[in-house]
Amino acid sequence: PDLFAPERRNSIGFDLHHTPTLDAVDKAREAFQEHQWNATRLLATDAAPLATAPVTNPSTPEDNPGTVAPASATDAEVAMASATPWTAPAAERATILNAAADLYEAHHGELFALLAREAGKSLPDCVAELREAVDFLRYYAANIPDAEPAGTFTCISPWNFPLAIFSGQIAAALAVGNAVLAKPAEQTPLIAHRAVQLLHEAGVPRDVLQLLPGGGELGARLTSDPRISGVAFTGSTATALKIRAAMAHNLRPGAPLIAETGGLNAMIVDSTALPEQAVQSIIESAFQSAGQRCSALRCLYLQEDIADDVLTMLMGAMDALQVGDPWHISTDCGPVIDEIAHRGIADHIAVARADGHVLKEMATPEQGTFIAPTLIKVSGIGDLEREIFGPVLHVARFKAQDLDRVIDDINATGYGLTFGLHTRIDDRVQHVTDAIHAGNIYVNRNQIGAIVGSQPFGGEGLSGTGPKAGGPNYMSRFCAPDRQSTND
Ligand code: NAD
């Protein structure tokens, strides 16, 4: 393939180490530091205003970035009845999606302010998220398959990538020519609303792309109606299973569910690894975005011979992490998304503390839903009963002769999203990566931040159905089934 072809070019984003760039980005976002946004449903036709509720800033309880008016059951009905596939030719759809990508970039100041104030994202996270969103739009625009659209797709997204995942699902569905009903996570309606406004401004017709802010009940309604042809879902494994059951009862047989779900992600560091490289990778994988990435490292396996040295370095590196308001450029670790998430993570740490298993804790700001990076000792990944979606890293030790048992334990979780390996033995790279069941495997680097187009992202087992997002096969599931190869 031509590595420099336009469809392979990724957004260059903003280099925050370049002071003039950082100053310009800071200024662009400052204009929105006190801005108020209002999220409401965006349907094919205008509808009467609805009752609103305030949206909160997870790091600063006294800051309300705006209000949301959740869509009603009637709105869902209206949206499903008026959803219209996008009949414009593929080249025109691509031009409009590319125009939307340009608009996203042009509005970076506003989007960064929204991501910080509504989702608690640090500035480096904001830059990475905008790049990914733009990459999805351009990548799908450049790779539209020659096929019919499935019909109407419901796209349901999580709060942890409220711009990138939200836009990626929609872009793939739209590129193929589907009508889209987009239901963002209830925690992040403002970003979704602004994104859909920009997509409309770029030229996506309003009856083709409709926005319905709301929670799980609305999501259930939009995934269990026979007028829906398929569902793209990213979120927890538990919700994916509910959606699958609802679809099986109500939708036509074979209606696609593209589910990208949770993980219990491990990393193995053996005694030949470069400790500095491993520690940097561990810090980024476990604590960047306050651990609120589906790809984040949850269970670190250190080979016994080097475990003490690596842990000493790791704890030193943790001391240098700044936990606080994500608006500040020096912040490494912002808040977790809301009080419910905070309680769940804090309870998990409290149990470990009572058992004497906490290896390291740090201070947190008094206000806001902060959890500081925490290390917890475990005997193995089997001790983790569930995905802890925050900056909590579990650490186990293993002996060289037990490597295959460790691999078996990791596979036995049933999840298979990301996996990291640090070693300087080539044969071991081959052996471990052959044996591990995970969608995305990273060697001698961190295990987060897959790049659209070059590192298609998605898991296996309990972590997702495939095909991988940002890869060549993703859009095939948004197409109508090939009539010759099915009994439709
Ligand atoms: P969640 O499952 O609670 O919610 C996700 C979305 O589903 C939200 O929009 C929610 O309103 C909706 N929803 C809830 N119940 C529903 C129902 N019965 N029917 C239809 N929709 C319903 O997940 P979350 O807490 O928002 O996100 C965090 C989870 O997402 C973690 O498990 C994380 O690992 C996962 N995730 C996975 C990926 C990936 O690519 N594999 C990426 C990001 C996040």
Give the DSSP letter string of 206-251: TTTEEE----HHHHHHHTS-TT--EEEEES-HHHHHHHHHHHHHHS
Q: What is the mean pLDDT of the chain?
A: 96
What is the whole-number distance in angstroms between the Cα of residue 310 and the centre of ligand 1? 34
pLDDT tier at 481, thresholds 50, 70, 90: confident
Place of tokens 């790779």: 143
Atom of ligand 1 nearest to the CA of 159: 26
Which of ligand 1's atoms lies nearest the C-alpha of 183?
Answer: 9
Q: Which of 234, 237, 264, 419 to mutate to test the pocket of ligand 1 (most atoms within 8 A of CB)?
A: 234
**If you average pLDDT over residues 23-45, what whole number do you get?**
97
Give the residue, by CA position, lying nearest to ligand 1 atom 19.
220
294 is an active site residue: yes
CA angle centred on 282, ends 280 and 283, rounded to 5°:
65
Q: How far is the CA of 59 from the centre of ligand 1 (A)?
A: 21
Read off the pLDDT of each residue in 246-270 and give the average, rounded to a whole number.
96
> For this structure, is 387 an active site residue?
no
pLDDT of 488 over the 60 cut: no
Q: Over pLDDT 90: what percentage of the chain?
A: 94
Q: Which residues of 319-342 are buried (b: 16+ CB within 10 A; e: fewer)?
A: eebebbbbbeeebbbbbbbeeebb
Residue minimizing CA distance to atom 30 of ligand 1: 235
> By the 8 A CB rule, do 114 and 183 touch?
no
The Cα-based distances of 119 to 32, 61, 326, 436 in angstroms read 15, 13, 10, 33
Rounded to whole angstroms, how far apart are CA atoms 17 and 414?
Answer: 40
CA of 145 to the centre of ligand 1 (A): 28
Q: Is the pLDDT of residue 6 over 80?
A: no
d(CA 109, CA 129): 13
Summarize the confidence of residues 267-291 as an average pLDDT: 98
What is the whole-number distance in angstroms between the Cα of residue 3 and the centre of ligand 1? 34
Give the residue, out of 159, 165, 221, 236, with the most ligand 1 atoms within 8 A of its beta carbon, to mutate for a pocket test. 236
Ligand 1 closest atom vs CA 237 = 32
3-state helix, strand, coil in the chain (%, to 5): 45, 15, 40
Residue 171: name the closest of 100, 85, 123 by CA: 100
Pocket of ligand 1 (CB under 6 A): 156-161, 165, 183, 185-186, 215-216, 219-220, 223, 234-236, 239, 242-243, 260-263, 294, 387, 389, 417, 459, 464
CA of 142 to the centre of ligand 1 (A): 28
Statement: residue 93 has pLDDT above 60: yes
Averaged pLDDT, 166-176: 98
Q: What atom of ligand 1 comes closest to residue 157's alpha carbon?
A: 9
User: For residue 76, which of 9, 146, 2, 156 has the smallest C-alpha distance?
Assistant: 156
Average pLDDT over residues 54-64: 95
Beta strands 265-269; 418-422: pairing state: parallel
Using DSSP, state whether 70 is helix, strand or coil.
coil
Q: Which atom, in ligand 1's list, is nearest to the CA of 222? A: 20
CA of 262 to the centre of ligand 1 (A): 8
* 469 Cα nearest atom in ligand 1: 40
Q: How far apart are the C-alpha atoms of 424 and 422, rounded to whole Å?
A: 7
User: The complex's ipTM?
Assistant: 0.97
What's the whole-number mean pLDDT along residues 9-38? 96
Task: Tell me which residue has its CA closest to atom 15 in ligand 1.
Answer: 216
User: Which protein residue's CA is at the shortest distance from atom 22 of ligand 1?
Assistant: 216
Which of 294, 336, 457 to mutate for ligand 1's pocket (most ligand atoms within 8 Å of CB)? 294
Bridge pairing between strands 358-360 and 374-377: antiparallel
d(CA 60, CA 292): 18
245 token code pair: 């059951």
**418-458: per-residue pLDDT in tens?**
999 999 999 999 999 999 999 999 999 999 999 999 999 99
**Nearest protein Cα to ligand 1, atom 23:** 235
Residue 4 pLDDT exceeds 70: no
For residue 108, CA distances in Å to 13, 67, 269, 310, 362 come to 10, 21, 38, 39, 33
pLDDT digits (tens, 9 = 90+) for 346-377: 999 999 999 999 999 999 999 999 999 999 99
Catalytic residue among 118, 129, 186, 260: 260
Tens-digit pLDDT profile for residues 45-55: 988 888 999 99
CA dihedral angle for residue 471, residue 473, residue 477, residue 480, rounded to 10 degrees: 130
Cα separation, 285 vs 290, in Å, equals 10
pLDDT tens-place string over residues 202-212? 999 999 999 99
Q: How far is the CA of 354 from the centre of ligand 1 (A)?
A: 30
DSSP string, 181-206: EEE--TT-HHHHHHHHHHHHHHT--T
In the set 126, 155, 284, 294, the catalytic residue is 294
CB 322 within 8 A of CB 332: yes
For ligand 1, the distance from its centroid to the CA atom of residue 209, given in whole angstroms, is 21
How sure is the predictor about 2, in pLDDT bands with cuts at 50, 70 and 90?
A: low
H helices of 123-176, in order, are 123-142, 164-176
Q: What is the pLDDT of residue 485?
A: 42
**Rounded mean pLDDT of 177-195?**
98
pLDDT at 486: 40
Decide if pLDDT at 487 tops 50: no
- CB-based contacts of 165, cutoff 8 Å, min separation 6: 157, 158, 234, 260, 469
Angle between helices 164-176 and 189-202 (to 10 degrees): 40
User: Amino acid identity, residue 136?
Assistant: F
Residue 393 pLDDT greater than 50, yes or no: yes
